[in-house]
Chains A and B, each alone.
Chain A
Amino acid sequence: MTAVLPKRIKDILLGDSPVPWLAPLVTMLVVFTIYPLVYNIWLSFHEYAPFKRRLVYVGWDNWSALVNDTRFWDALSVTFTYFFVLLAIQVVLGMLIALLLDSDEPGFGILRGLLTLTLVIPPAITGMMFLLMEDPAFGVLTYVLNGLGILSPDAPILATSSTALAGVMLADIWQWTPFMVLIFLAGLRSLPTEPYEAAMLDGASSFQVFRKITLPMMSKVIAVAVLIRGIDLFRAFDYMFVMTSGGPGTSTYTLSLYAWQQTFSFVKWGYGATLSLVGLVLIMIIANIFIYVSKVRW
């Protein structure tokens, strides 16, 4: 087979050219990433006209509609609140638990194994689990929080606009704090011991040791974990979709959820596309600034 091919083609297929190796990947990414992206941009300049039953060109209308759409600004604020609050909670809580588990005690391997379990549960099912536990009538979490006096029985956690987002966040914290724990723990376990021995001789306190030795040596690990978790937090969708559908009001509407509902529930195809593009542009900017500043490399 190879003998009959012209030499040039043979060189490309068997020689040192990356082309045949990368071709399937590039094809997939172009057809299923670049093309949809271009299509999405095209869609954002059109809108479905119900009476004509087709898309019509509307120019920049969808883009300028963003400015006066209070639900869009609400969604943006929910998205950023969710992003920053959960990133902070998961990093701090993850680090605390990682420091707690960073020990050779018998049985701690089992604890680490147990913590990985939350990572493989479909987020939609996690949402359902918390929906059950936060049920106003018979939820176990509601029962505990009411008993502790943190919540009042007349204000169900997911049906009250001031607490609904926190109720959704609980599911995310439960599912993804172990993600941080495992990454931080792997980082902590691979740290060299010499600096700690030196610090002990100098009589440094544990907090000083953490602040001056552990934290600087862990900076790359923390940066990678924050980047990956941050990307996922910004596009949060599953939990809100199954737990609250964005309500009450707009209190748990994220940008992704709002874009999806505009497209598929309200048949505003062009506007939904525009909203999803806003999310795309924002996360690209944030992630690339973060990669640039933190010097994370692949």
Chain B
Amino acid sequence: MIVENKTRRRLRIVVAWFVTALFVFPLYFWTTTAFKEAKEIFNVPPSIWSFSPTLRNFEEVFGISFGFLRQQEVLPGGGNFYMAPRLWDSIIVALFSTALAIIISTLAAYSLSRMNFRGRHHFVSWVLSTRMMPPVAVAIPMFFIYKDIGLMDTHLGIIIIHALMNLPLAVLLLKSFFDDIPQEIDESAIVDGASRWLIFRRIVLPMAMGGVAATAVLCFIFSWTEFIFVLTLTQTGLKTVPVVSSSFVTSTGTAWGNMAALGVAAMLPAFVFILLVQKQLVRGLTLGSLKQ
């Protein structure tokens, strides 16, 4: 933009790396905590660079053995901190709720992007307004409704509520991706006698596949990180990773190392996913209203 002199340029580079380092530090610290023995976590001053790494925390949390636990302590499937099934719950909920949200929202987004009907603008506003509802105002009545209809503490119940939570994002975002595809393509296909459904299936959907994938990634991440619905609508049947992390806080102290190990395992897939959709990220975060 504006031509900078050498000193200003250097200063910008140094400050930029420093600021980013500040933001990365908590992640670094949390990750190293996952590899520390309990006694090193409680060091004062906190040990940042030097500690003897161990995989013990991961062994306890995922019930796998790397030889860091002494034989009699290996408790696959039995230990208090064995969390592998909770990771599985998280994956099931995130995958199926994403699929449900994508199926419903591609259909809706297509018609909102392509068809002119009365009240379309109001309909979009209504979808947006459901995004504003505080989760607690849905979670409280849902607790009672789910108890009545038997969805309490079930995977299906959480899948539905997570899909619902992601619908406004998915509909608005997909609409913006469909809007990018020129209307003329549809119109010429209609002239050739193609039905709406055929156009959607064979033309628009394949052309918007990148956008659909980006939307799916965001839905997956929001389900993966969601807290209050799982906290409210599950008891013992299932728990996702964010909610189960509080079970490391015990009456005899907090198992920080184990908690960090689970946290690290939960972050990794999300990190990979988000880096895959860098190009569409801003559009996704703003529900399709800003294009990069």
Contact = CB atoms under 8 A, between A and B. Distances in A.
A28 B292 contact: no
B44 A182 contact: no
Contact of B140 (A43, A100, A139): A43
Where chain A touches its partner, the secondary structure class is helix
Nearest to B8: A206
A122 B225 CA distance: 4
A183 B285 contact: yes
B141 A37 contact: yes
A150 interface: no
Given A129-B263, A143-B44, A40 B137 contact: yes
B65 interface: no
B267 A125 contact: yes
The 7 closest A-B pairs by CB, nearest first: A21-B111, A122-B242, A120-B270, A122-B225, A235-B134, A124-B242, A25-B108
Nearest to A101: B16
Where chain B touches its partner, the secondary structure class is helix
A25 B2 contact: no
A14 B267 CA distance: 44
A193 B225 CA distance: 39
Contacts of A39: 141, 144-145
A284 B160 CA distance: 24
A111 B282 contact: no
Interface string A179-194: 1001100110010010
A124 B246 contact: yes
A217 interface: no
Interface string A227-256: 010010011011001100000000000011
Q: Which of B136, B232, B285 has the most CB of A within 10 A?
A: B136
Contact of A116 (B41, B108, B111, B281): B281
B131 to A, nearest CB: 7
Interface of B: 1-2, 9, 12-13, 15-17, 19-20, 23-24, 26-27, 29-30, 33, 41-46, 48, 103-105, 107-108, 110-112, 115, 117, 120, 123-145, 160-161, 163-164, 167, 171-172, 175, 195-197, 221, 224-228, 231-232, 241-243, 245-246, 256, 259-260, 263, 266-267, 270-271, 273-275, 278, 281-282, 285-290, 292
Given A18-B115, A33-B164, A108 B274 contact: no
A21 B242 contact: no
Given A25-B105, A276-B140, A235 B130 contact: no
A114 interface: yes
Contact of B221 (A120, A130, A138, A200): A120
A78 B141 CA distance: 24
A166 interface: no
A116 B110 CA distance: 29
Interface of A: 13-18, 20-22, 24-25, 28-29, 32-33, 35-37, 39-40, 43, 97, 100-103, 105, 107-108, 111-125, 128-130, 132-133, 137-140, 143, 174, 177-179, 182-183, 186-187, 190, 193, 196, 200, 206, 209, 220-221, 224-225, 228, 231, 234-235, 237-238, 241-242, 255-256, 259-260, 263-264, 269, 272-273, 276-277, 279-280, 283-284, 287-288, 296-298
Contacts of B1: 102, 193, 196
